[in-house]
Structure 1
Amino acid sequence: MNNKTPGVWILLGRNETAEKWECLQVGINVDIYQEIVTDIDYMYEQGKTEKDYINQFGEKCEGLKIFAYPSEHNQLYSFIRNTYENLAFVIVAENVEELEKRKTIEKYVAYRTRAKYWRNGRAYEKEATVKNEDLSVDISAVMNYVIEIDKFLEKYIIIKGIGASK
């Protein structure tokens, strides 16, 4: 039996004084629920740790410890947990089998909310200015999802990207 649910999720953050939630991250997966569980685990992983150095012959090299650093992904989720008082994962599109549709929805939501920590592929190496008018995505194939997503976003989330009030 396959319990995987393909779709799109968002991670929201808010501090006590904020009226609306801020969109921090947007993600897609063929198993969104498992990805959310994994991301929650990342929030609680320890930082740099020491471990024994083991050579090619399986022997511990006495007195030599090496540092194991968390991945960038782990560091990000730990930072998010320590920065926001309230966090919520929300499924914005469920049972979206087609990868291209999931990508379109992800990009639309990220652009609409200017999701604070979202990256579409490789990271920028330098700061850049990206204007709202530069953010475009063809949503015609996923319009049925967009209508429902927009209702949710406009009610609960700070809109900074496309369609934001000036």
Structure 2
Amino acid sequence: MPQPYDEDAFRAFVLARTPALSRTAYLLTGNAHLAEDLVQTALFKAAKSWGRIQGDPEPYVRRILYTQNVSWWRSRRHVREHRLGAYDEAATHPDTDLRLSLEQALARLTTRQRTVLVLRYFEDLTEVQTAATLGIGAGTVKSISRQALARLRTLAPDLAEHVGDPS
């Protein structure tokens, strides 16, 4: 049976988790404005279902984030991709050159490649979990990951030690 809507719990979740959700959304979209829209859409959808969410709400909200992003990239294939910029200027990053190189390389991947890499390596999902989240086969996830990592190696040779050896 659904629980009553707990506005205080939802507000606490939003305040605590929006920064992390925003970083993930930015990695998925490559655009700060789209990332904000994506987070707002995910939180709006979660708010409508808040009373039915059992346990930790974060996986539920993140799944909305991923599936909404997939819906967007399916519907906006004709829209030009934007270059990734510095999303979190205020945060301190120990290796700014590495971060910038990675952001620039990720910006040159397709939305689908970037989404798979974010889910696999940033969110640490398995191939099966990534496939389930995106509604594609595990073999497709493997293929997209392989292609995206090969493209990253080509686009940013300085990231080779972080991307791994293809052999």
Higher strand share goes to which structure?
A: 1
Question: What's the TM-score, normalizing by structure 2?
Answer: 0.30
Higher Cα Rg: structure 1 or 2? Answer: 1
Question: What's the TM-score, normalizing by structure 1?
Answer: 0.31
